[in-house]
Amino acid sequence: MLRRLLAATMCAAVLLPSAGLFPAAMAQQAPTLNVYNWSDYIDPKAVERFQQETGIQVRYDVFDSLETLEGKLSAGRSGYDVIVPTSEPTFARLIRAGALRPLDRAALPNWNNQDATLLRRVESSDPGNRHGAIYLYGSVGLGIRPDKVRAVLPDAPLDSLDLLMKPENVKALAGCGIAVMDSAIDVLPSVLRWLGKDPNSTDAADLRAAEQAMLAIRPHVRAITASGSILDALATGEYCVAMTYSGDVIQAKARAAEAGRGVDIAYVQPKEGAQLWFDMLAIPADAPHPDAAQRFINFLLQPEVMAGITNEVRYPNAIPAATPLVDDAVRGDPNVYPTPEMLGRSFTAEALGPQAERARSRLWSRFKAGR
């Protein structure tokens, strides 16, 4: 008996020191996952829960525009395992360049939680939906402070891009702060649409018209900056008109209401028709941890996880079973979940050729420089 007890104690004694070392050794071997997502675009609790459930450590970096994401990816060896490109144009371009790894559906049992109609919609960039699951979607429009705008322009329509694009409006509003997110990809199509042109036009005369319109408002624009900074500044009341992503405006509105300093913010989905976009969960071809990436994507495709994300970031997801779990106020907001009528007026960007992209980015540089 004593011998057995002793043996057990010895065993414990031998094991104990190594048990102390065990977590460190484990940590070294614990898989990590490198995520590159948009700023203000996840529920931090979802990431924590994923880490706890799987033991996978998440390293989470953020970007603010498709231009930044494309720059990082085109350099190669980004080191990222999961990225979140917009279906058109970036996701489509990355697929064509062979830069994404096809998903392994067998490792994604939650794949079928996605709305089949929305999946068909993003098939134009990814035939067969082989390279990406839908994360969230939304539109491009204006974040405004209705009281400030009304004070300066009592008769201006609050549902149109006229607020930003008509020089007389923007001139009158310059004092209360005008901002435009720094992204040719996500701003130019709406400007072309406002001019009555094809948002995906590559025609030189159309682009000249867009450039003229943008240069005409440029002197009154306070900031052309990262979408993430626009969200922060909108929330503190620094801008009365800002062109950016829908949910960013609605997050700013919620933050401002919470701060209780009388900053009231509204989202305007332009009546001319808004740019609609879908952001995809995708895995770079050279991802160092593709298995962990698949687990993360599968984890996100759960209704309760997605509902938590939509509640936090105010963008709709593509999982119908998540909708009843979303807060009433968020679910009932047509600026979060667009109405069929809004969807009918919306358009999507297309992946243009490299020459057209270069022309657009030159135009953008001139807009930023103001000449």
Nearer of residues 113 and 227 to ligand N2P, judged by Cβ: 227
Nearer to ligand N2P, 144 or 185 (CB): 185
The region of 37-45, 69-77, 99-107, 166-174 touching ligand N2P under the rule CB under 6 A is 37-45
Question: Any contact of residue 86 with ligand N2P (CB under 6 A)?
Answer: yes
By CB under 6 A, is residue 135 in contact with ligand N2P? no
To the nearest 10 degrees (0 to 180), the angle between helices 354-369 and 184-194 is 90
**Nearer CB in complex with ligand N2P: 252/352:** 252
How far apart are alpha carbons 131 and 340 in whole angstroms?
27
Contact 297, 37 (CB under 8 A): no
CA distance 335 to 249: 10
| 182 lies in the site for ligand N2P, by CB under 6 A | no
333 binds ligand N2P (CB under 6 A): no
Among 36, 41, 80, 239, binds ligand N2P (CB under 6 A): 41
Closest CB to ligand N2P among residues 182, 211: 182
d(CA 42, CA 242): 22
* Residue 36 near ligand N2P by CB under 6 A: no
Site string for ligand N2P, 90-119 (x = CB under 6 A): ------------------------------
Shortest distance, CB of residue 37 to ligand N2P, whole angstroms? 8
User: How is residue 128 written in tokens?
Assistant: 């067969």
Single-letter code of the amino acid located at 91:
F
- Cα separation, 335 vs 245, in Å, equals 11
Stretch that binds ligand N2P, among 39-47, 105-113, 159-167, 345-353 (CB under 6 A): 39-47
135, 239, 277, 337: which one binds ligand N2P (CB under 6 A): 277
d(CA 268, CA 63): 24
Choice from 227, 269, 275, 298 touching ligand N2P (CB under 6 A): 227
- The answer to whether 135 touches 296, Cβ cutoff 8 Å, is no
Instruction: Tell whether residue 39 is a contact of ligand N2P (CB under 6 A).
Output: yes
38 lies in the site for ligand N2P, by CB under 6 A: yes
CB of 244 to ligand N2P, least distance (A): 8
In sequence order, which residues have a C-beta less than 8 Å from that of residue 142 and are 6 or more positions away?
161, 163, 164, 241, 242, 243, 244, 249, 267, 268, 270
The footprint of ligand N2P on residues 146-175 (CB under 6 A) is none
Q: Which stretch binds ligand N2P (CB under 6 A): 3-11, 36-44, 73-81, 172-180?
A: 36-44
State yes or no: cis peptide before 288, omega within 30 of 0. no
Q: Report CA-CA distances (Å) from 83 to 3, 91, 245.
A: 58, 10, 18
Structure tokens at 16: 């104990």
Contacts of 140 (CB under 8 A, 6+ apart): 186, 187, 189, 190, 243, 244, 245, 246, 274, 275, 277
Nearer to ligand N2P, 40 or 162 (CB): 40
How many chain residues bind ligand N2P (CB under 6 A)? Answer: 10
40 vs 357 by CB, closer to ligand N2P:
40
Instruction: Give whichever of 114 and 348 is closer to ligand N2P, judged by the CB atom.
Output: 348
The 8-class DSSP code of residue 154 comes to: T
For ligand N2P, which is the closer residue by CB, 162 or 248?
A: 248
Which tokens in the block code for residue 84? 């979140």
Binding residues for ligand N2P (CB under 6 A): 38-41, 86, 227, 245, 248, 277, 279
